[in-house]
Amino acid sequence: MTRIDATFARLRGQNRKAFVAYIMAGDPDVAGSLAVMRGMPAAGVDVIELGMPFTDPMADGPTIQAAGQRSLAGGHKMDMTLQMVRDFRADDGETPIVLMGYYNPIYARGVTRFLDEAAAAGVDGLIVVDLPPEEDAELCLPAQAAGLNFIRLATPTTDAKRLPKVLQNTSGFVYYVSVTGITGAAAAQAADVGPEVARIKASTDLPVIVGFGITTPEAAQTIASVADGCVVGSAIVKLIGDGKPVSEVLARVSALSAGAHRA
C-alpha cells in the first residue's frame, strides 16, 4: 500500500473528501517552492502534486505554462525536483507526493534511473499527461513495479468504449479533468461533473478526484461534493507568480482545502 492508498483509506474511514494541491517545482525558485510545499500539509493538503517543468506542456494553461518557464529560466533541473522531494521527506514521511508532467524529461533521464531515484526520494505516484494507455509498457508498468502509483487522466471525451482502457492499469486515484481544454481555461461545473464521476465510479473502486477549473473555496466544496475530492493548481500557482509571500499563498491553500473538506 502506497502513501496515496493509505491516505484515501484514511479519508474514506473519516467520510472526508480529499484536497489535492499543485505547485510547480522551482517556481519562483527552489527555496520558495519548497517552503510552500512544506507548509501544505498544515494548510490541509492531503496529496501534493509537484509539477516537473517542461518546455512544451500541452495540457497546461497560461498560468502553469508561465510557472514552468520561470522555473526553467532559473536553471531548474530534474535533479532539483527530486532533491525537493528528499528535503520534504526529511520532515514529512506521510503526505503523498505525486510528480506531474510530461514524458520527455523522464525519457531523457532514462526510465529505470528516473524510477529508482523517484522511489528512493519518496515519490508516491506519477501523472504523465502525454503517455496514453497504449504505451503502458513504456512507463506505467515499470512505475508500478517500482512501487509507484500511476494515475491516469479521464476527460469529458473519454467515452464508454475508451474508459476501460484508461482504467486498466491506473492506480492510486483517477484524475477527472472537468473541462475540455487546458488548465485554468474554464470553471468546473458540478452539474456536468457529477454524472461523469458517477459513470467512472461505476467501473472502478479507485477514488475519483476532479481537477481543472476550480479556483475558489466555494467551487472546491461544490466539486468535491460530487467526487472523492478535488485538485487546485492554477489558483495557487497564480499567487506564486504574482510574487505573493509564502504565508499568503498558504493562507489561500488553507481556505481552498477547508472548502473541499466541508463537502
Report, in this order, helix, strand and coil percent for the chain, each rounded to 5: 50, 15, 40
Residue 192's pLDDT is: 85
| Dihedral sign computed on CA atoms, order 11, 48, 179, 241 | positive
Amino acid at 175: Y
Q: Which residues contact 180 (CB under 8 A, 6 or more apart)?
A: 155, 156, 157
Residue 108: the pLDDT is 97
Does 179 score more than 90 pLDDT? no
Please say if the pLDDT value at position 80 is more than 60.
yes
Mean local confidence (pLDDT), 78-105 = 98
Q: How far apart are the C-alpha atoms of 20 and 78, rounded to whole Å?
A: 22
**Integer CA distances (angstroms), 50 to 20, 125, 174, in order:** 11, 10, 17
> For the residues 143-160, what does the mean pLDDT come to?
96
Please give the CATH architecture assigned to the domain spanning 3-262.
Alpha-Beta Barrel (3.20)
Cα torsion 82, 234, 64, 142 to 10°: value is 40
DSSP string over 74-130: TT--HHHHHHHHHHHHTT-SSS-EEEEE-HHHHHHH-HHHHHHHHHHHT--EEEETT
**Taking 70 as the threshold, does the pLDDT of residue 229 lie above it?**
yes
- The percent of residues in the chain predicted with pLDDT above 70, rounded, is 97
Torsion over CA of 233, 155, 131 and 119, rounded to 10 degrees?
50
pLDDT tens digits, 180-221: 655 555 577 778 899 999 999 999 999 999 998 899 999 999
Helix (H) or strand (E) holding 7: helix 3-13
Mean pLDDT rounded to a whole number for the chain: 95
In which element (H, E) is residue 229 found?
strand 229-232
Residue 52 in grid coordinates: 516537473
Mean pLDDT along residues 128-133: 95
Q: Kindly list the domain boundaries of the chain, sorted by start residue.
A: 3-262
Beta pairing, strands 125-128 & 97-101: parallel
What integer pLDDT is reported at residue 182 of this predicted model? Answer: 56
Catalytic residue ranges: 49, 60
Q: Is the pLDDT of residue 171 over 80?
A: yes
Q: Which of residues 255 and 178 earns the better pLDDT score?
A: 255
pLDDT of residue 234: 94
The string of pLDDT tens digits covering residues 33-67 is 999 999 999 999 999 999 999 999 988 889 999 99
pLDDT in the model for residue 191? 81
Q: Which residues of 216-229 are buried (b: 16+ CB within 10 A; e: fewer)?
A: ebebbbbbbebbbb
